[in-house]
């Protein structure tokens, strides 16, 4: 089954629309096309991975989609909003409200509890304390951390910290969650449980995930695999639904 191109995808379901994007880095006299004329779309509810060797452009593309960097050429839109037309403050609000980030380094705030880390973005949005705490507790329960809300990061295992990071990413109900090597710093069993969790969130909360990864376990769970090489997309494959078995419930 072929995935629809950005030109033919139904725009009401398109979360990310990348059109002919190029990002060039300069090292001395050399110019490196980290992303080279890439076009793709990500639709709501997808569970997609970017794969390819180191230096293929995966992380750069993820940073462009996350509005952490800007393309030198081309256009990129989130839910129909052209990022190139937004001011710096508008981009900051877009990142806060519509994009969730999960990094391999967790990036939790050490002095905050699991609940406070989870509700941090909700607090930035100005949501009332009672409402944001209720949402944080609901999301922590969804990621298997009920009863851990008062613990700080140094009181949690690596896998538990990554669960808090995932909870923080999905708490504001973003349009898309971007995950850069989310299983890189955990053991195999914990990695499988995290993937079970993210599959369950994809299925139950209709969360849209886009991963950058070298981990074959993540690739094995993907519904769509985008392969990059030398800054270009060289393959874009949709995995048939019957190729996956349903994941176990998160624990």
Beta strands 14-27 and 73-78, pairing class: antiparallel
State residue 243's pLDDT score. Answer: 65
What CATH number has the domain bearing residue 142? 3.40.50.300
Distance CA 164, CA 160 (A): 6
Domain membership flag for residue 6: no
Domain membership flag for residue 26: no
Domain membership flag for residue 134: yes
At what angle are helices 188-204 and 129-142 packed, to 10 degrees? 120
Q: How confident is the model at residue 181 (pLDDT cuts 50, 70, 90)?
A: confident
Reference 15, options 100, 99, 89, 78; nearest CA is: 78
Rounded to a whole number, what is the largest CA-CA distance in the chain?
Answer: 56
Q: How confident is the model at residue 30 (pLDDT cuts 50, 70, 90)?
A: confident
Is residue 118 within 8 Å of residue 170, measured between CB atoms? no
Place of tokens 């990142």: 95
Q: Which domain holds residue 195?
A: 45-66+90-243
3-class DSSP state of 58: helix
Domain membership flag for residue 98: yes
Domain membership flag for residue 80: no
Domain membership flag for residue 129: yes
State residue 12's pLDDT score. Answer: 52
DSSP character for 100? E
Domain membership flag for residue 81: no
Domain count, the chain: 1
Beta strands 47-51 and 224-229, pairing class: parallel
117-158 pLDDT, tens per residue? 999 999 999 999 999 999 999 999 988 899 999 999 999 998
Domain membership flag for residue 77: no
3-class DSSP state of 213: coil
Distance CA 221, CA 81 (A): 30
């Amino acid at each position: 089954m072929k995935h629809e191109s950005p030109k033919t995808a139904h725009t009401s379901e398109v979360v990310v629309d990348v059109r002919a994007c190029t990002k060039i880095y300069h090292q001395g006299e050399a110019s490196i096309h980290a992303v080279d004329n890439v076009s793709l779309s990500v639709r709501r509810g997808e569970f997609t991975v970017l794969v390819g060797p180191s230096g293929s452009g995966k992380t750069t593309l993820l940073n462009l989609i996350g509005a952490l960097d800007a393309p030198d050429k081309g256009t990129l839109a989130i839910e129909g909003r052209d990022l190139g037309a937004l001011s710096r403050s508008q981009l900051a609000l877009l990142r806060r409200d519509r994009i969730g980030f999960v990094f391999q380094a967790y990036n939790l705030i050490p002095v905050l509890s699991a609940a406070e880390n989870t509700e941090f973005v909700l607090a930035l949005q100005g949501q009332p304390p009672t409402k944001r705490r209720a949402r944080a507790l609901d999301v922590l329960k969804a990621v298997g951390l009920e009863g851990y809300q008062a613990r700080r990061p140094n009181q949690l295992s690596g896998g538990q910290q990554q669960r808090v990071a995932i909870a923080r990413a999905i708490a504001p109900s973003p349009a898309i969650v971007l995950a850069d090597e989310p299983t890189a710093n955990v053991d195999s069993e914990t990695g499988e449980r995290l993937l079970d969790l993210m599959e369950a969130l994809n299925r139950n909360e209709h969360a849209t995930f886009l991963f950058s990864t070298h981990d074959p376990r993540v690739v094995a769970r993907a519904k769509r695999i985008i392969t990059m090489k030398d800054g270009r997309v060289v393959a874009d494959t949709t995995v048939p639904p019957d190729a996956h078995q349903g994941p176990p419930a998160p624990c």
